[in-house]
Amino acid sequence: MLAQRNEINLQLLKVCDTALLALTFWFAHFLRYNRMIVLDGIVEIDPFPSFVWMLAVIIPFAPFFLEAQGFYNHPQEKTAWRSMQKITMAGMWLFVLLSAAVIFLRLEVPSRSVLILFALFAPCVLMFREQLEIANYHLKVRAGKVGEPVILAGEPECIDSLIASLTPVQKMEMRVEDRIDLDSRSIEDFISSLHEHSVGRVILAFKHLDLEKAQRAIEACEAEGVDAWLSMEFIPTSIAKPTFSILGPHSMLVFRSKPAAQWALFFKSLIDRAGALAGLILLAPALLVVAAAIKITSPGPALFRQQRSGLHGAPFEIWKFRTMYVDAEKQKLELQAFNEMKGPVFKMQDDPRVTPLGRFLRRTSIDEFPQLVNVLRGHMSLVGPRPLPVYEVKKFEETVHRRRLSMKPGLTCLWQVRGRNTVVNFSDWVRMDLEYIDNWSLFLDAYIVLRTIPSVLLGIGAR
C-alpha cells in the first residue's frame, strides 16, 4: 500500500541522511586535519577518534530533529528556502544538544573549526539529496510509474469534494481506476469493479452515511482482502481529529481535540517534575528572602492560596507569593467597574490592592515561583494555559473557552510571551491558549520557555 511504501521510504531517507551526515562530519575533520581548510590558525587538531562522541550525538538525533521540523513532509511541495529553514532549525536544536553534552557531561570540543565546516557542508548535502529525490520523483511521474490504483465509491458530490481537496502531488500519487455511485449502482457492480481493476485500496466518501451501504461495501473489501478507507465527512468536525481505539471487544471511533502523543506527554511530565525540583532547590534561598520581605513590608501571610481550575476544570489549590493586601478580595467588588479585560477575567492597571513590593514581584514574575510546588505535585506543568480562579471559569460565556482546560495549566504559555497584560480581550487570550493546544509539541514548549526568560527579565507586558 501507498501508506506503507511512504513509511518505508521515510525510514530509508532517514538512514540515508544519517549516513550522509556522518560522512560529512568525517569529511570536515579530514579537511581540517590535513590543513586543506584552516579556520583557526595552523594549530594541529586531534585525530578523528577524539570526535567520535560528537558523531554519537549527531547520528541518532539529527534525523529526529529533521523529522520533528517537518523536513521530510511532502518534499515535492516545499520550496528550497522552506527546506533550508527546517534544516537550520534542526541544526540549532542539534547545537543545543551538543552544548548540553559539553556542559553537563564535561566533554571537550577538540576543534571548533570542524563543527563550523560541518555546519556549512551539512545543509548543502541535505539540500542536494532532497533535490535528487524530487528529480527522481518527477522522472517517475513522466514515466507513469507514480500512482497507486484505487477505486472511489460513495456519493458523487462527496467524491468530487474529496478529490478537489487534495494537492497536485497527492492526486498524482493515486490512479483512480473507477468511480462508483453507490446510490445508483449495486454492490454487485462494486464487487465486479474490484475484480476488474485489481486495486489494493478503496476510498468510501459519504456526506449522509448510509450504514447499510457502507457496511456492505466494507464487507466486500474485507472478503477481497482490500483496504477500505472511509471518509469522515459525514461527521463534520473543525478541530477534533478522528482515530480508532479498542474498548474491550468493541472498536471505538475516537475524536480527539487535544494532543494524543502519550509518549511525548509522559516525557513532558518528567521534564515538569525534574525542572520543578531543580528550580525549588536552586531558588530556595531566594524564596526564603522574598517570603521574609513580604512579611516585613505588609501584614499577612507570605503565601497566597486560591482554588484554581486545573486539567478538565478539576479544582486545585495554587500557591503564589502574596502581592496584595489581605483584604484584596473584599475590595474587588468595589473595583469591578475599572476592569480592563473584556470577559470573565479581572485585570486593572495600577491596582490599588497591590503592595509596593508586590508590584516588583509581579513585574518580574517572582510571585509565580511557589507554583513550582504545584508543578512538582502534578497539578500544573511548566508550560500550559495559565490557571484561572474557579469562580472566573464558571463565568465563561462561550462553551468553546472551556477547551483551554483540556491540557494541564502551566507557569507560562503563549499569552505570557505575547504581551501578557497588554492583551485586553479574553477571547484573544483563549485563542492563544487554543493555538498552543492545537500545535503542541515538546519543541513548542522549549520555544515558549526560551521566549519567557527575556519577557520576565525585561518585564515585557507586565504590570
78 shares a domain with 214: no
Average pLDDT of the chain to the nearest whole number: 84
What whole-number distance in Å separates Cα of residue 408 and Cα of residue 385? 7
Asked if 359 and 452 sit in the same domain, the reply is yes
Residue 206's CATH number? 3.40.50.10700
Decide which of 455 and 363 is more confident.
363
Tell me what the mean pLDDT of segment 78-85 comes to.
85
Q: Is 257 a domain residue? A: no
- The answer to whether residue 163 sits within a structural domain is yes
21 located within any domain: yes
Percent of the chain with pLDDT over 90: 26
pLDDT tens-digit map of 203-220: 988 877 677 888 888 888
Render pLDDT for 11-44 as a digit per residue (tens, 0 to 9).
888 899 999 999 999 999 999 888 787 666 667 7
Q: Which has more confidence, 83 or 331?
A: 83
Residue 191 shares a structural domain with residue 276: no
Give the lowest-confidence range in 136-145, 346-355, 425-434: 136-145
Q: What per-residue confidence (pLDDT) applies to 261?
A: 63
Residues 313 and 450 in one domain: yes
pLDDT tens per residue across span 247-284: 777 777 777 766 666 777 888 999 999 999 999 999 99
- The reply to whether 272 and 398 lie within a common domain is yes
Range of the domain at 300: 262-458
Residue-wise pLDDT tens digits, 399-427:
778 888 888 999 999 888 876 666 778 88
Question: 383-404: per-residue pLDDT in tens?
Answer: 999 999 998 888 887 877 888 8
Report which of residues 108 and 26 the model is more confident about.
26
> Which of 126, 142, 158 is the last residue before a domain boundary?
142
- Is 254 a domain residue? no
Q: Give residue 87's pLDDT.
A: 92
Q: What digits encode the pLDDT tens for the residues 223-250?
A: 888 888 888 776 766 666 777 777 777 7
| Residues 335 and 202 reside in one and the same domain | no
Domain assignment present for 241: no
- What is the pLDDT, as a whole number, of residue 28? 92
248 located within any domain: no
Number of domains in the chain: 3
- Is the model more confident about 131 or about 174? 131
* 334-355: average pLDDT: 76
Q: Is residue 256 part of a domain?
A: no
**Rg (alpha carbons) of the chain, rounded to whole number:** 29
